[in-house]
A and B are shown apart, each in its own frame.
Chain A
Amino acid sequence: MPEMTLDMRVNGRKVTRRADPGQRLLDFLRDELNLTGTKEGCGAGECGTCSVFVDGKLVKSCLMPVAKAQGADIQTVEGLARPGELEAIQKAFHKTGASQCGYCIPGMVMAATSVLREAPEASLDEIKERMGGNICRCTGYSKIIEAVALARDVVTGRASPAVLEPEGVGDSYIGHNVRRLDAPSKVTGRLKYAGDMVMPGMLHMAVLRSPHPHAEIVSIDTSGAEAMEGVACVITADDVPGKDGFGVFVHDQPVMARGKVRHVGEAVAAIAAEDAATARRALAKIRVEYRELPGLFDPEDALKPGAPVIHDYAPDNVVKHIPIRKGDVDKGFAEADLILEDEFSTQQVEHAYLEPEAGLAYVDADDVVTVISPSQNITHHRHMLSEIIAKPINKVRFIMSPVGGGFGGKEDMIYQGMLALAAMKTDRPVRLVFTREESIIASAKRHPSRVKYRMGLKNDGRITAIRFEMLSDGGAYGMSSEGVMRKAAILSCGPYEVENLQVDTTAVYTNNTPSGAFRTFGGMQAQFATESMMDIAAERLGLDPFEIRRRNMMRAGSLTHTQQRLTSASIDRVLEAAEQASRWEPGPVGMRGPTRGDLGGPGTRAPCTLGARFETPKDSKERVA
């Protein structure tokens, strides 16, 4: 689109710029005005990280063409408080600990400001409903809602501004609610994440990704893209000078596909260009000839004889099998009064950190190849990259940028290698920012699991034996599969002392999106099965669920599933704490819903019906029932 002159007021100052009127208000604010407090979490109106006020109305700036803001009065998070100061809502976020990674926080602060402006008397339920369009992956929302309620009370005069001040310390800083030191930078949008950083002469990267789950790469022709004006370089696997491979346990993944692609979304080539739009346009000029291969999409199929082989080094498609044996399971089952068999499964889960992957690489004056990124493990990345680019380790430097959520999903070095190669090839800084779609298809997920369970018990609830068999789809690359299988196996049978057990966990390669590290690392998949079995057993034996757990729980001196002697085990204390806090009414597992007396008491909220909670008009005209 031809450029036009745009006039608006932004944070109280007049702004005039010639710009593409079709670009999103979000990009205009971030790229033209360097107001990077406004974040892009999804680019599709689904997350609220890009919220700004346009003529006093809260809008998602990723959905608004900048031309529509012509003549408007815009307020971004940077414009809420004067530099060095915080508004009441920002102080409240600081006080309650409402910011964790901080990536959603500017949007949350804007949404909360909108609540305070439009519905200053809003109830807790209404606050939740009004904030419902903003996603946070870290906090579980509780402290955010608490902050909004606290600011509401201060703003409406129900509470003294003193409640926003820090708590005084007693005789120790350990155990004290010290306010987060990084909160002020997060609630003001001042903190720069990798995607907010710029360097002079910086190039922008775009990545060509595989459209096929499993295919041989016959040829890649980059000449059309290289010839385009504004393109600085195109890189493929051929540009890797050293040993190409990364992974948390096995280094089975090339920086870009080498010879074949193994999952949809795998990087095949990358382009660095003067601007992001040119880089994206140039992708279409790369010609890749693929020969499709039969794919594997189910972990059971991966183990069948004659199944397609995903990695030559693993002809049986097994990434890792972890066995654990303790006691004599046959004897244990023979002693059982009750034997239960069941199967459980869990799904693949996306990390959905609000900050999509981003990074910036350059070669410094001492020839040190430097990568800035929100990685969870730059120590290991440095080792792997030094092999990939064949440089001594002190010529490779990784700098951590603020991590906008990770949960395990940012342990894999899925893009830093490309950035380093492009910086080396052009001798210019190169930045890459994933789109949300790219982040979802190219990054690892929580391992899905299928568990076959066999449990033997005495009539008194004591477990005599367990056989536990878990199969997981590791997807196209090993990533953290080995460690996830190990942790799942070690923790499998839960916090119980079981004399006889046989545990096997196995992850296999398929052509699905890879599975990798995700908060609990296999622990939740395994214990979901065990904790379900405990209740199934309690129901059959007529026991209270706390009671069956107590009869089997580990104690000081217990031997774990891997035969480690525990010197202490706090399971008795946490069981009791949860039982008391929840005012648990003892009784055997069964369908007790309407009869139990402990429901609906303190510690519960009222159920919600959407739209029913606007006590104050949502905007000045309309009242929502």
Chain B
Amino acid sequence: MQRKMRGRGVAASWYGIARTATVDRAGAWAELDDGGTAKVVTGVTEIGEGILTVLAQIAAEELGIRPEDVTIGDNDTARSPEAAHAGATRQTYMIGNSVALACREAKARLFTEIAAHWEVDAGSLVAFDGELRAEGTNLAMTMAEAVDLCKRRGVVPVGAGHFTSHGTGLDPEDGSGAPWQAYVFGTQVAEVEVDTVTGEVQVLGLWAAHDVGRVINPRGVEGQIEGGVVQGLGQALMEDYQTANGHPVTHGFAKYILPTALDVPEITSILVEDPDPLSPLGAKGIGEPALVPTAPAIINAIHDAVGVRIRSLPATPEKVLAAIAEKQARAAGAREAAE
């Protein structure tokens, strides 16, 4: 065997969107505000995935204004409607849809007033990027003017929305049930190089194809995939929280090894859109699914490279070396037996 061996592996995966085996729900309020801006209030929790920007995009699209004109009032149990937790890959799906519905209601209030003013059918109104017009006519105004007019007619354009995901519980005997209404699927291919002298594995390339329903923010989705892949890589190759008789022995970053910029492969994200028919937006989610196939793809690639199967994570250099040595011993034993 050469010292540096390369190989490729693939793993597929699936995941459910929103809370598991139960009804999930989220609520939001929206108001078209002075100057053609908007306030959206919902119990959303930005944990870094970019959900606030996603919600601003959704609100902007629904209301016909620009994302930077949207102010999001986020999670405060005494000030915002319940939208529940940041987890279960649920925020874009649950809260995104409730924000869309709240915005539709606010916009409908506004459109009713403007349509009456223009004496056109509200269905002919279109708003985008701060401009409002009536299709098939020359009538147009800015959203700032529209809000002003609406208020002068005595109407504050507010709306509320909520979204439900109808998961059901599992049967206690056979586990049957419909835990989610939306599923996503993913496939990743990893290319690795294994140093057969040190046992070190480097992941050089990773291709990640994920169905996200509908892409709201492409860079945001890629960021979720890249972050998930690198966490998966950490779990595949290096991370290991250990205790000895209950006493943690890896209680600092000097001992608990995390991936750094040097460990990261080139990552190619391929975003597949299979829109969810049960939701107004069609978007599903990506936060957790991104990390599911990474470790098995890497482990399958190690097998392709050096012919050893790592069954216990992480595939540390010691484990990889031991597996290579065992394989060579077996091969030698087989040769002897054959002679």
A578 touching B47, Cβ below 8 Å: no
In the docked arrangement, what's the CA distance between A322 and B173, Å?
9
B185 pairs with A581, CB closer than 8 A = no
A-B contact pairs, 16 of them (CB 8 A): A100-B50, A133-B260, A139-B227, A143-B226, A177-B217, A179-B53, A264-B243, A376-B86, A380-B84, A437-B252, A532-B296, A568-B277, A573-B272, A599-B7, A603-B268, A605-B265
The answer for the CA separation of A205 and B248 in the assembled complex, in Å, is: 23
Interface assignment of A2: CB less than 8 Å from any CB of chain B: no
Contact of A377 among B84, B218, B251, B261 (CB under 8 A): B84
Residue of A nearest to B253 (CB): A46
Per DSSP, chain B at the interface is mixed
Check B82 for interface membership: any CB of A closer than 8 A. yes
Given known contacts A376-B87, A379-B85, A403-B47, A495 and B185 CB-to-CB distance under 8 angstroms = yes
Q: Spot the interface stretch: B107-115, B132-140, B145-153, B300-308.
A: B300-308
Distance A546 CA – B10 CA, assembled complex (angstroms): 8
Question: Which residues B182-211 have CB closer than 8 A to chain A?
Answer: 183-189, 191, 193, 202, 204-205, 207-211
Interface residues of chain B, those whose CB is within 8 Å of chain A, are 2, 4-16, 20-21, 43, 45-50, 52-53, 56-58, 60-61, 66-68, 74-78, 82-88, 128-129, 170, 172-179, 183-189, 191, 193, 202, 204-205, 207-211, 214-220, 222-223, 225-232, 234-235, 239-243, 245-248, 250-254, 256, 258, 260-262, 264-268, 270, 272, 274, 277, 281, 287-289, 291-293, 295-297, 299-300, 303-307, 309, 311-314
Given contacts A483-B20, A569-B183, A599-B6, contact A490 B312 (CB under 8 A): no
Which of A50-58, A282-290, A329-337, A342-350 forms contacts with chain B? A342-350
Which listed residue (B45, B239, B242, B251) contacts A437, Cβ 8 A? B251
CA distance A350 to B257 in the complex (A): 10
Residues of B within 8 A of A405 (CB): 47-48
Q: Inside 8 A of A12's CB, which chain B residues have their CB?
A: none
Which A residues touch B8, using CB under 8 A? Answer: 582, 584, 596, 598-599
Contact B85 A604 (CB under 8 A): no
Partner of A172, one of B21, B61, B260: B61
* Cβ-defined contact, B12 with A531, below 8 A: yes
A265-B248, A605-B204 known; A140 and B53 CB under 8 Å?
A: no
4 additional A-B residue pairs with CB within 8 Å, beyond A176-B57, A344-B311, A350-B241: A101-B48, A347-B242, A490-B175, A521-B288
Which 8 A-B pairs rank lowest in CB-CB distance, beginning with the nearest?
A213-B246, A101-B48, A324-B175, A140-B226, A531-B296, A591-B307, A604-B205, A377-B85
Given A180-B50, A589-B304: A517 and B87 within 8 A (CB)?
Answer: yes
A563 within 8 A of B: yes
Residues of chain A contacted by B83 (CB below 8 angstroms):
379
Tell me the nearest residue of chain B to A135, going by C-beta: B258
Q: Does A553 contact B (CB under 8 A)?
A: yes
Q: Is the CB of A578 within 8 A of B48?
A: no
Given A528-B295, A564-B179, residue A513 in contact with residue B85 (CB < 8 A): no
CB-defined contacts of B77 to chain A, threshold 8 Å: 378-379, 382, 396-399
Which stretch (A238-246, A271-279, A406-414) binds chain B? A406-414
| Closest beta carbon of chain A to B24's beta carbon, Å | 12
- Interface bits A332-373 vs B (CB < 8 Å: 1, else 0): 000000000011111111101000000000000000100000
Complex CA gap A140/B265 in Å reads: 9
Question: Is A614 in the interface zone, CB < 8 Å from B?
Answer: no
Among A25-33, A72-80, A124-132, A154-162, the stretch in contact with B: A124-132
Contact B228–A140 (Cβ < 8 Å)? yes
Given the known A-B contacts A400-B74, A582-B189, are A605 and B295 also in contact in the complex, defined by CB atoms under 8 Å?
Answer: no
| Across-interface contacts of B5 in A (CB, < 8 A) | 593-594
- List, in ascending order, chain A residues with CB within 8 A of B20's CB: 483, 486-487, 490, 521
Whole-angstrom distance between the alpha carbons of A593 and B302 in the complex? Answer: 9
Cβ-defined partner of B266 (8 Å) among A180, A520, A579, A605: A605
Q: Cβ of B205: which chain A residues have Cβ within 8 Å of it?
A: 582, 603-605
CA distance A350 to B49 in the complex (A): 19
Q: Which residue of B lies closest to A483 (CB)?
A: B20
How many residues of A are in contact with the other chain, CB < 8 A?
159
| Cα of A561 to Cα of B176 in the assembled complex, Å | 8
A142→B226 contact, CB < 8 A = yes
Task: Tell me the minimal C-beta distance from A323 to chain B in angstroms.
Answer: 6
A129 to B272, CA, bound (A): 33
Q: A174-B216, A397-B76, A400-B75 are in contact. Are A523 and B15 (CB under 8 A)?
A: yes
Instruction: Report Cα–Cα, A135/B83, bound state, in Å.
Output: 31
Task: Count how many pairs of residues, one from A and one from B, have CB atoms less than 8 Å apart in the complex.
Answer: 487
Report yes or no: B187 in contact with A440, Cβ–Cβ below 8 A.
Answer: no
Chain A residues within an 8 Å CB radius of B291: 519-520, 524
Q: Are B202 and A607 in contact (CB under 8 A)?
A: yes
B304 touches A324 (CB 8 A): no
Q: Residue B246 contacts which of A139, A140, A143, A297 (CB distance < 8 angstroms)?
A: A297
Query: Are A607 and B4 within 8 A (Cβ)?
Result: yes
Please determine whether B216 and A175 come into contact, CB atoms closer than 8 angstroms: yes
What CA separation (Å) do A97 and B222 show in the bound complex? 9
Distance in Å: Cβ of A326 to nearest Cβ of chain B: 7
Query: Is A379 in contact with B232, judged by CB distance below 8 angstroms?
Result: no
A584 to B258, CA, bound (A): 29
Write out the residue numbers on chain A whose beta carbons fall within 8 Å of the beta carbon of B281: 174
Of listed A44, A343, A379, A396, residue having the most chain B CB within 10 A: A379
Q: Nearest Cβ in chain B — how far from A511, in angstroms?
A: 5
Contact A96/B219 with A483-B20, A532-B299, A593-B306 known, Cβ cut-off 8 Å: yes
Once bound together, how far apart are the Cα atoms of A441 and B208, in whole Å? 33
Smallest CB-CB separation from B235: which chain A residue?
A: A349
Closest to B266 in A: A605
User: Given contacts A570-B184, A593-B7, are A169 and B129 in contact (CB under 8 A)?
Assistant: yes
Q: Does A263 contact B (CB under 8 A)?
A: yes
Question: Is the beta-carbon distance between A173 and B57 smaller than 8 angstroms?
Answer: yes
A470 close to B (CB within 8 Å): no
- Interface hub of B82, B204, B241, B313 (most chain A Cβ within 10 A): B241
Alpha-carbon distance A566/B78, docked complex (angstroms): 39
Decide: A574 near B272, CB < 8 A? Known: A379-B84, A593-B305.
Answer: yes
